[in-house]
Structure 1
Amino acid sequence: MEKETESKSKELNSTTNLESKEELQEKLWNTNFILLMQGQVVSIFGDTVYDIALRFLILAKTGSVALMGSLMAASIIPRIFISPLAGTFIDRHDRRKVLIISDSICGITILFVGVAAIMGFIQIWMVLVAGIILDVCGCFFNPTTSSSIPDIVPKSKLIKANSIYSSITSANDMAGYALGGFLIQLIGAPILLLFNGVSFLFSAISEYFITIPEVKSYTEKLSFIEDMKSGVKFVKNSKGLKYLYITIAFLNFFAAMSMTLTLPLFKLHKELGVGLFGIAMAINTFGMLVGFGILSVIEIKKEIRFHVFILSGIIVSITMILYSFTLNFYLISILFFLDGLSLAVMNSFIQSSMQKYVPSNMRSKVFAFKNMLTGSLMPLGMVLAGILGEIMSMNIIIFVAYLIFFILFIYLSFVKSVKEIINM
C-alpha cells in the first residue's frame, strides 16, 4: 500500500514538473527574448540617432544639403548586394556570435567617429565609410534577429512576439528622431556619438548571455554559393511564399512612392502645408503602434487569420485611394491612422507566417532576400515618384498605385497556397 502511494506521488510530481516545464516553454517574456529585444532597442535607437548626428556633422563640415543626401544614399547601397551573402553566412554560423560581432563592430566604428569629431580630424570619407560599415552590420544583425525569434519563443506566441518586436522598432524610430535633434543641441553630436558607441558595446555584452538553438543544416556539404542558391530555390518552389514576396515588393514600392509624394503634395496645397505633414506622419506611425499593440495582446484564431490579413490589405488600399481624393486634413488624419493600423496587422502576419513556414536552416537566407528586395525597391520607387510627379498629378499617381495594390489583395483572397501559409 505504501509503495502504491509512493508511486502515485512520484507520478503526480512528474506530471506537475511536466506541466511547469510546458508553462515555461509557453512563456513569451523569457530571458532570451528579453535580451534579444534589449539588443533591438539599442540597435534601432542607435541607428536613428547616428543618422541624425551624421547629417548634422556632414552639414556642419560641408554646408551642402545635396552632398548630405548623396552620402546618406550611398551608405545604404551595399545593403542590396550584401544581404543575400549575409543570409547564407548567418544560416551556416552561430547566430549569437553574429549578433555580438555586429553590435561590437558598430560600437567601435561609432566610437571612432565620435573621437575623430571631438579631436577635430574627422573627414567626409570617414563618415561615409562608417555609414557603410553600420549598414553592412545591419545586413547581418536584422535577419539574425528575425530568424532567431521563432527559436526562442513558443510558436503560439509568435504573432505577439513579432508585434512586440515591431512596436519596439516603431517606438524607437519615433523616440530616436524626436530626441536625436534635442540631444545634439544639448550635448553636441560628437558626445552623442560616444554614448551611442558605448550603448552598442553594452548590447553586445548582454547578447553574450542569449541562448539561441543551433541550426542543424543539411546544407553543410554544399558550397557557400550553392547554399545561397538553395535559399532562392526554396522561395521559387513555394507558390505561397512567392505571392508573399510579390505583396512585400508592391507594398514597399508603392509606400515609397506615396511617402515621396506626400510632402510635396502637402506643400503644394494651402489647405494642408508642410506643418501638417509632420503631424500626419506621426498619426500614421501612431496607428502602427496601436496595431502592433493590439496584436501583442489579442490572440487571433488560426481559422480567421487569412481573412484578417486580406481585410488589412484592402483597408490599406482603400485608405490611400481615398487620401488621393481629399484635401481635408481631419479626414486624412483618420485615413492615415487606419492605414498605419492595417499596415501593422498585415506586416505582423507576413513576418510570423514566414517564420513558421521557413525551416530554421533557410530562415536567414529568406529574410535577407526579403531585406534586399525592400532595400532595392524603395529607392527605385522614390526615384520614379519624383520623375512622374514632375509630369503628372501626384494624386493620380497615388490613386493608380494603390488601385493596383487593391486588385492584388482581391486576387490573393482566392490563392489557396497563401491562405495555408497565413493560417499556419
Structure 2
Amino acid sequence: MRVFNLIWAGQGVSLIGSAMTTFGIGVWVFLDTGSPTYFATLVLAASLPALLVLPIAGALVDRWDRRRVMLLSDTGAALTPAGVVLLHTTGALQLWHIYLLVGIGAVFKAFQWPAFSALVPQLVTKDDLGKANGRVSLIEAAGQVFGALLGGALYALVGLPGLLAIDLLTLAAALGTLLYSFRWLPVEPPRPTGDGPATTHRDELLEGWRFIRQRPGLLGVLLFFAANNLVMEMAIVLVPPLVLSTHTPADLGVVNAIGWTGMTAISLVISLTRGPRRLVRAILTVALCHAALVIAMGIEQSVWMLAAGMFGILGGYAVTNAASATLWQRKTPQDKQGRVFAIRRMVAWSAEPLAYGLAGPVAQLIGTPLAQRLDLGSGGGIAAVFLLAGPALLLVITLTWLRPAVRQVETDLPDVITTPVPQH
C-alpha cells in the first residue's frame, strides 16, 4: 500500500486546506452580507455544479488517463483560492466572484472523486480494500475537523487571504505526491471488454446507469442509500437549530466537534483493519443504529445526548462509506468504474438538496402540530421530525432487507477486482 499511502497523505493534507478555505469563505460571506440566504447560496454553489457535472465526469474518467485527470482536478481546484486571493488583494472581490469561483472549483472536484475511487483497487489488494477505503473516510473526516479548527483559529490572525494561501500550499503538496507517484500508476484506464466500447458520448453517459440497472442487487443498494440519505439528512440538517433552540452556540460547537471526532475515530479503526466482512449486513446494521439514535435525540435534547447521537451517526457513516466503496469496487469492472461511481455519487448527493428543502416545511407543517399534541416543549417541532425519521428509516431498512437480490449481492455477483500495479 506504499503508493496508495503516499497519494492518500497528499490528498489528506489538501482536504484540510480545502476545509479551511470553505470555512474562511463562508465566514467572509456571512460577515460581509449578514444574510443566511447568501450563505445558503454559497453552499448551493459549492454542490450543485458538481452534481450536474458528475455523469459527464464519470464517462470522461473512463476514457482519459486517470493520473492526468487527478492532476487536472487538483490543479483546477487551485483556481478558487488563487482567484479569491487575487481579487481580495486588489480590492475588487465581490459576492458573485465568490459564487463563480466556488462553482468552478466544484466542477474540478467532480472529476477528482471518481478518478481516485477507480484508482484505489488498482493500487491495493482485494483484502486491503476495506482498509484503504477506511483511510479515505479518515482523511475526509479529519479534514473537516482540523480544517474547521485551524480555520477558526487562524482567521482572526491571517484573515481570508492567509487561509487561501495555506490552501494553495496544501494543493501543492497533493500535486507533488501525485507527480512523484506517476511512474507507479496505471498509464491509462483499462480497455472495455465483452460488450465493447460505447459508440457515442450519449451511450457513455448512460453506460453507468445501464450497468447498475442490469444488476438488481447493486440497484437495491443504490436505492437504499438514496432513501437513507433523504431521511437522515432531513434530521441532520436540523441538528443546529435543535441545539440552539434550548442551548448556546458554544454547545453547538461541542456537539459538532464530538460528532466529527466519532467519524475520525471509527475511520482510524477501519484504516488499521480490513473492515467488515459482510458488507451489506454491516451497512444495514449501522442504519438500524442510526434509527435508534435519531429517535433518542428526538426524545432527549440534552447537550450530551445530542453529542452522543452525532458521534454515533457520523461514526456509523465511516463504516458505511468504507463498506459501500469496497462493495462497488469489487463488483464493478475497472473500465466502467468512473461512470458507475459517478452515478452512485450523483444519486447520493441528489438526496441532500431535496432533504434540505423538505426539512423546514416538514418541521413547521407536520412537526409543530405533532409536538403540540405530544407536549414536546421548546424545539418540539424539530424534535418531532427526529421522531418521524426514526420509524421511516426502519421502514427503508426492512424493505431493503426483504429483497433477496440485495441480501445476496456479495455472493451472487462475482468479484472483478484485478491485480494491483506492482509497487517497487
Please give the TM-score of this superposition, normalised by the length of structure 2.
Answer: 0.86
Matched, 1:225 2:202: yes
**CA–CA separation in structure 2 for the residues paired with 1:262 and 1:61:** 25
Please name the residue that 1:255 is paired with: 232
Q: d(CA) in 1 for partners of 2:35 and 2:310?
A: 33
After TM superposition, list the pairs within 5 Å mapping 1:43-58 onto structure 2. 43-58=14-29
State the Cα distance separating 1:153 from its structure 2 match. 0.7
Deviation at 1:63, TM superposition (A): 4.6
Structure 2 unmatched ranges of 5 or more: 368-380, 416-424
- Structure-1 separation of matches of 2:109 and 2:18: 9
Matched residues in 1 for 2:103 and 2:389: separation?
32
In the alignment, what sits opposite 1:265? 242
Instruction: Decide which moves more: 47-56 or 202-211.
Output: 202-211
1: distance between equivalents of 2:33 and 2:273?
50
1:170 paired residue number: 141
AA aligned opposite 1:297: L
**Alignment equivalent of 2:396, drawn from 408, 411, 415:** 408
Q: Is the 8 A contact 1:260 1:386 kept in 2?
A: no
Q: Which moved more, 1:318-327 or 1:329-338?
A: 329-338
Aligned amino acid, residue 95 of structure 1: R
Bigger-Rg structure (1/2) = 1
In structure 2, the partner of 1:317 is 291
Shift of the 209–176 alpha-carbon distance from structure 1 to 2, 3 Å rule, reads same
| Cα deviations by residue, 1:5-37 (Å, 9 ceiling, x for unpaired) | xxxxxxxxxxxxxxxxxxxxxxx3x12x02321
Q: CA deviation at 1:380?
A: 1.2
| Aligned residue in 2 for 1:326 | 300
Structure 2 CA distance, aligned partners of 1:382 and 1:258?
9
User: What does residue 377 of structure 2 align with?
Assistant: none
Partner of 1:11: none
How far apart, in 2, do the equivalents of 1:312 and 1:120 lie? 49
Deviation of 1:226 (Å)? 0.5
Q: Deviations over 1:66-100 (max 9, x none)?
A: 32332332342212211110110101100100111
Aligned counterpart, 1:8: none
* Equivalent position to 1:216, from 168, 175, 190: 190
Q: What is the correspondence of 1:260-339 to structure 2 with a 5 Å cutoff? A: 260-269=237-246, 272-300=247-275, 302=277, 304-339=278-313
Identity %: 23
Could you tell me which of 38, 44, 66 is aligned with 1:95?
66
Amino acid at match of 1:147: A
Instruction: Give, in whole Å, the separation in 1 of the partners of 2:304 and 2:21.
Output: 34
* SS class of match (2:78): helix
Match for residue 136 of structure 1?
Answer: 107
Question: Within 5 Å, which residues of 2 pair with 1:24-63?
Answer: 28=1, 30-31=2-3, 33-59=4-30, 61-63=32-34
Quote the Cα distance in structure 1 between the aligned partners of 2:40 and 2:287: 32
Counterpart selection for 1:76 from 21, 37, 47: 47
**Is the Cα contact below 8 Å between 1:90 and 1:140 reproduced in 2?**
yes
CA distance in 2, matches of 1:67, 1:339: 29
Residue in 1 aligned with 2:419? none
Q: Matched residue pairs, number? A: 392
Greater displacement, 305-314 / 147-156: 305-314
Cα deviation for residue 300 of structure 1 reads 4.9
Instruction: Give 2:88's aligned amino acid.
Output: A
In 2, the alpha carbon distance for the partners of 1:342 and 1:291 equals 8
Alpha-carbon offset, residue 414 of structure 1: 4.1
- Taking a change above 3 Å as real, the CA distance of residues 422 and 345 of structure 1, as seen in their structure-2 partners, is farther
Q: What's the RMSD between the two structures over aligned residues?
A: 2.2
In structure 2, the residue matched to 1:239 is 216
Q: Deviations over 1:212-256 (max 9, x none)?
A: 323223254521211111111011111111111112212221222
8 Å contact kept, 2:130–2:326: yes
